[in-house]
Structure formats: structure tokens, C-alpha cells
Amino acid sequence: MAGTLYVVATPLGNLGDLSPRAAETLRQVAVVAAEDTRHTRPLLAHVGAGAELVSWHAHSAERDRERLLRLLTTGHDIALVTDAGTPAVSDPGAALVAAARARDVPVVTIPGPTAVAAALAVSGLHADRYVFLGFLPRKGSERRRLLDMVAHSEWTVVLFEAPNRLAELLDDLALACGDERPAAVARELTKVFEETRTGTLRGLAGYYATAPARGEVTVVVAGTGRPRGREERPDPQAEARRLLAEGLSRKDVVDRLVVETGISRNSAYRLVNEL
């Protein structure tokens, strides 16, 4: 009989949040597949687990996956964990789960902490329906497309971001969604220096531009509260003239044109300079 792949949620930071079932699973399995073994080793020591600890991350080779699958198909149980929270949510664990299912290996969830739900719960924003977009691309058309999706989402949107890029993300979100869109930034959830700051996107962008964030960051952005219409995108030239007339800098006009009209940044620069 095949072994079982257990998808085990681990604490975001506070070890007290590890469930008794998760601790017992980690003690019983033969192998623990971890995103960062250095991060997971203290957790295994904390619960008294003697399982073999192996690495499974976004850059793992195909041979690493095959080794884990071979262990599963020959009857060994494996626990999949990530550095913090629930594996396979904006996490490379999803690939291992898919591969295990393709081999008819049983997959069982051991639920627990997740930064998405934790941040929504303390944000004060509507959470009956929400969209999770994980980490946005750092630049390019896909980043612009997803910023536009956030801007027009009927529902609350949850994002992850690295602390050193938080201010830039908030600034881009303010340009896309409007300065006054309500939002929340939750960082270091469950840890000693946990902080959730709420306000407008522009206000939060200004704050974190002068007080750089540290630790794990989750951003929650309010939705529009209405379905996205089928409105036409504004004419780039007319929109550029309007924004310049409002007194925006050329750089800000370029940023707005990229998000609001969908033209490339080079085209936006050329258009603004011609005006």
C-alpha cells in the first residue's frame, strides 16, 4: 500500500499555534519535506520528532520529487511543511501534492495557521468573499494586469509582499486603485512585534516609505463593492492631458496611463513627452 502525504500547517511564528494533531503527525511520519530545513529543524526538535528531514522548495530538481514519490509509493508517510502557515498556498508544495495525486497517493490535510485568513480577520475589511493573489510580479505587463485586477475587484484582495518592497507595492496600488481606497498591512502575525496598520493606500504608502517594514507582510485591499463593468478604457492621449491639467508630475502621469489605459510604459513616456 502507498504511504500518505500529509499537508501540515505550521505556526506563522508562535509555536503555541501548532495543533496537537500536527505535532503528532510530525512525530509519526518517516519523512518531513520542508521548504527550508534550517527553519523546520527547530520545530521538529520542539515536538520531539525524529523523522528524516529533506528539502522541497521552488528550485528542487525532478530527482528530488521522484525520490519523495518513490518513498510514498513504497509505503512511507511524508509530512509536507512550509516555513510558516499552510503548505501549497502561494508555495511550491502545490507541485508535490499534484504529483502525489497523479500517482494515486492519498493526500490528507492537517489544517492550521494561514496568513491569508489571519490578516483578513484583523483587517476590519469585508471577508465574506475575497480574492487572493499572492506575490505580484516585480515589474512588467503581468504586474500591471494584476494591479488593474485589484483596482476593479468587487471583493477584498489579499496580497503577500517582501518587506523591502512594501512601500513600492502600496504606492503602485494607490495609483491603480485611488489614494483613498481602504487597506490594511499586517506584519509579523502571531510574533512578538505583530502589527496591523489600517488606513488608506496613500496613507499607508507614505508611512512605510519613512518607516520600512520588517518581517513577513500581508496586504489586504478593500474591494469596490460592485461588479466590474464592461467600460471602455480611456483614450491614452485624452487621459494624459487630463492628468497633466490636474497638476500631476510626468512620472505619475506615466504610471497612471500604464495602469488605466493598458499601454506600455515606453508608449506612455513617449505620449507624455510629446504633450
What's 21's domain CATH number? 3.40.1010.10
Does position 231 have pLDDT exceeding 60, yes or no?
A: no
Count of structural domains within the chain? 3
The reply to whether 9 and 108 lie within a common domain is yes
Assign 232 a pLDDT band (cuts: 50, 70, 90): low
In this structure, is residue 228 part of a structural domain? Answer: no
| 79 close to 31: Cβ distance less than 8 angstroms | yes
Residues 112, 94: Cα–Cα separation, whole Å: 17
Same domain, 243 and 215: no
- Domain membership of residue 160 (yes or no) is yes
CATH classification of the domain holding 176: 3.30.950.10
CA 27 to chain centre: 29
Domain boundary among 91, 113, 135: 113
H or E element in which residue 219 lies: strand 217-221
> What percent of the chain stands above pLDDT 70?
99
Identify the band that residue 229 occupies on the pLDDT scale cut at 50, 70 and 90: low
79, 113, 147 - which closes a domain: 113
